[in-house]
A and B are shown apart, each in its own frame.
Chain A
Amino acid sequence: MFKFAIWIIFAIVIVLLPQFFSSLLSVSILNQMAIAIVFALSYNMLLGQGGMLSFGHAVYFGLGGFMAVHALLGIEDGNYSFSVTLIPLVGGLFGLLAALFIGSFSTHKAGTVFAMISLGVGELIAASSLILVSFFGGEAGVSGDRTYGPTFFGYDFAQDLQVYYLAAAWMFIATLAMYLFTQTPAGRMANAVRDNPERAEFIGYSARRVRLISFVMAGFFAGIAGGLFAVNYEILTEQNLNAVTSGNVLLMAYIGGLGFFIGPMVGAVVLTLVNSVLSHYTTLWMLYLGIMFVLTVMFLPSGLTGFLMMHRTPWHLGKIRLLIKPYIVTAIPGAVFALSLVAMVEMAHTSEAEFVFLGASFNSSGPMSWGVLVAIALASFIALRRSLPQLREAWAQANAIETGDQP
């Protein structure tokens, strides 16, 4: 009943979101988020749930997307007539077929073998996309137009907001379907095979077949995400199936948290925001993204969701307030330290003589500016280190179960 309520709330939230974020820019970001959520969740069917590290998941996203654009073109030419709302399904089915073919030989083993095959296939498809011009359109890609075909209850999808409702509906259905998959025998055996493929064989399951099922499902949902991308942007290029896109979806799933169903959703939302907001302010956003990934791997191995979930015990014990002050005491020097580093990186990068950062003006080639920034960085770093023992102690206290206190 509780779970059912969560899905209802989720549906209400995605319906209401454009009321609060109605500008063209925010609707376009919301569309990106919806697509990224489906894509990242499909990736986690491989990595988080199935233990298959893929470096080429964009292949199924891209192939689905290209097929969807061709379907859009087919509708435009009058070859067939169906609603644009079904385009993501075209992408999904093509992604499924591609995954069925590639999975038939790549899911034999997990681990390094699988990872290397996924990398190889990814490069292969990305390279051939520039050669097979009739399907992939070469460097220019393939573009279509989503406004043809029969309208859907008056929607012709000329506006981004209408596309949002289409993407949100598909995202909701796909999310629900992927969640339900985790609750089925095949979904649960995917976890078992991830944990111990050998023992899975001794309880009657072919580890390979279990992996293949997850792989095909992941391909299907990645294809749906690709189809949504096609409807949203009306163009697909080689970039949509190359290693960068594959790497990006890995980042989303990992930073969000592989061990939780909502982890990749959190990652997709956060990274989409980071990408679109940061790229407005700095050309170095890829660098910061990379650093964020490394820090997550080092300090938050279970991702942002894992970090939030760590607070369940203090929350149940009613001790969460013990953590507020230590968090602030640590966060302030932490933020200052991070910003001073960012300032130095940006100052080294700028070609202008005057460098303005957060309202402060620096001479980008003056030793004084560097001296000041290094001093701030050092001071804040020392303050950060000093604050950590208190935070640790507060954490231990907040998690301590006193007698008679056990939940």
Chain B
Amino acid sequence: MSLLQLQGLSKQFGDTKIIRDVNLEIQPGEKHAIIGPNGAGKSTLFHLISGRYHVSSGSILFKGSPIHNRSPFEITRLGLARSFQVTNIFPLLSVFENVRCALLWSMGYRYSFWHLLGKARALNTRTEELLEEIGLHARRNLPAGELAYAEQRALELGIAIASGAEMILLDEPVAGMSHTEATNAVALIRKVTAGKTLIMVEHDMNIVFDLADRISVLVYGEIIASDVPSKIRGNPRVQEAYLGEVVPGGSDA
């Protein structure tokens, strides 16, 4: 059974239709990339799936049950986590606290005001491990807002994966990074999402063709193709609509 199903999904703001009748199925363990020109509605699609926006029509099923129009926190609790295109962290909290807060719900602490964080050994150990994994252990006591850009992106990813979600949405995880930083980030993404289902929006075609098992192309709110990378490369509609005359393979700015 598909882990995530989008059925006839549409979203409009006023009269403007941003997402038009999108149907998509994501299988467990799949690494799926969504590409498309600017303004195609990729981020909007993510906002619909993650609960930031309500849908205009259609439905979203996660593990077979509908999640559209539910609150982001409910969707997160079901095991669907996301990162953001514009870094979205807790700037005044330390790096350590950022990660620890992201772990709280999945480790069963809920809204507890009767547990002391200092004595929560399993929680703190897990936080340290995660910091180690995302390479920010040396920065653990710094306010997150003072991290360098690439480090903030790593933290962004760390917060997204902390809950141990089965499905992770990454919105342009390497945007704005230098080549070296992007290479490191891809290695990190590969490492921390191993065994999980991943959907990502990304502009850098090298990374897309490197990471993804399947690619969907979104143009003007419609999915015009959804297939394995090799077939997408050769698809004439995709080349025409999205890639212009150029065959993908080079770096796409």
Interface positions of A (Cβ within 8 A of B):
180-181, 183-189, 191-192, 194-196, 198-206, 209-210, 213, 217
Whether the Cβ atoms of A199 and B88 lie closer than 8 Å is yes
- Count chain B CB atoms within 10 A of each CB in A187, A200, A203 and give the residue with the most: A203
Whether the Cβ atoms of B92 and A210 lie closer than 8 Å is no
Interface positions of B (Cβ within 8 A of A):
50, 52, 71-73, 76-77, 81-82, 84, 88-93, 97, 100-102, 104-106, 109-118, 159-160, 162-163
Contacts of B50 in A (CB 8 A): 202
Nearest first, the 7 A-B pairs at minimum CB distance are: A204-B105, A195-B90, A201-B72, A185-B109, A186-B113, A204-B76, A184-B113
In-complex Cβ contact of A188 among B117, B159, B162 (8 A): B117
The DSSP consensus for interface residues of chain B is loop
Complex Cα distance A181/B111, Å?
11
Contacts of B71 in A (CB 8 A): 201, 206
In-complex Cβ contact of B90 among A196, A201, A210 (8 A): A196
CB distance from A11 to the nearest CB of B (A): 20
Whether the Cβ atoms of A191 and B90 lie closer than 8 Å is yes
Of all chain B residues, the one with the shortest Cβ separation from A185 is B109
CB distance from A318 to the nearest CB of B (A): 22
Of all chain B residues, the one with the shortest Cβ separation from A198 is B88
In-complex Cβ contact of B82 among A187, A202, A205 (8 A): A202
Whether the Cβ atoms of A199 and B159 lie closer than 8 Å is yes
Contacts of B106 in A (CB 8 A): 204
Q: List 21 A-B contacts (CB under 8 A).
A: A183-B116, A183-B117, A185-B111, A186-B111, A186-B112, A188-B117, A189-B111, A192-B90, A192-B101, A194-B92, A200-B90, A201-B73, A201-B76, A203-B76, A203-B101, A204-B73, A204-B163, A205-B104, A206-B71, A213-B111, A217-B113
The DSSP consensus for interface residues of chain A is helix
Complex Cα distance A186/B73, Å?
15
Contacts of A184 in B (CB 8 A): 112-117
Whether the Cβ atoms of A185 and B73 lie closer than 8 Å is no
Whether the Cβ atoms of A203 and B159 lie closer than 8 Å is yes
Complex Cα distance A35/B118, Å?
29
Whether the Cβ atoms of B100 and A188 lie closer than 8 Å is yes
Whether the Cβ atoms of A192 and B114 lie closer than 8 Å is no
In-complex Cβ contact of A185 among B77, B113, B163 (8 A): B113
Assuming the contacts A191-B97, A203-B101, A203-B163, asked whether A180 and B88 have C-beta atoms less than 8 A apart, the reply is: no
Known: A184-B115, A189-B111. 19 other contacts (CB 8 A): A185-B111, A188-B104, A192-B90, A192-B93, A192-B97, A192-B101, A194-B92, A196-B90, A199-B159, A200-B73, A201-B71, A201-B73, A201-B76, A202-B82, A202-B160, A203-B104, A203-B159, A205-B111, A213-B111
Whether the Cβ atoms of B93 and A195 lie closer than 8 Å is yes
Whether the Cβ atoms of A213 and B113 lie closer than 8 Å is yes
Whether the Cβ atoms of B88 and A189 lie closer than 8 Å is no
Of all chain B residues, the one with the shortest Cβ separation from A203 is B102
CB distance from A190 to the nearest CB of B (A): 10
In-complex Cβ contact of B88 among A191, A196, A204, A209 (8 A): A196
Contacts of A196 in B (CB 8 A): 88-91
Contacts of A198 in B (CB 8 A): 52, 72, 88
Contacts of B88 in A (CB 8 A): 196, 198-199, 202
Contacts of B113 in A (CB 8 A): 181, 184-187, 213, 217
Contacts of B104 in A (CB 8 A): 185, 188-189, 203-205
- Count chain A CB atoms within 10 A of each CB in B71, B73, B92 and give the residue with the most: B73
Whether the Cβ atoms of A185 and B76 lie closer than 8 Å is no
Complex Cα distance A205/B76, Å?
9
Assuming the contacts A195-B93, A199-B88, A203-B105, asked whether A180 and B76 have C-beta atoms less than 8 A apart, the reply is: no
Contacts of A201 in B (CB 8 A): 71-73, 76
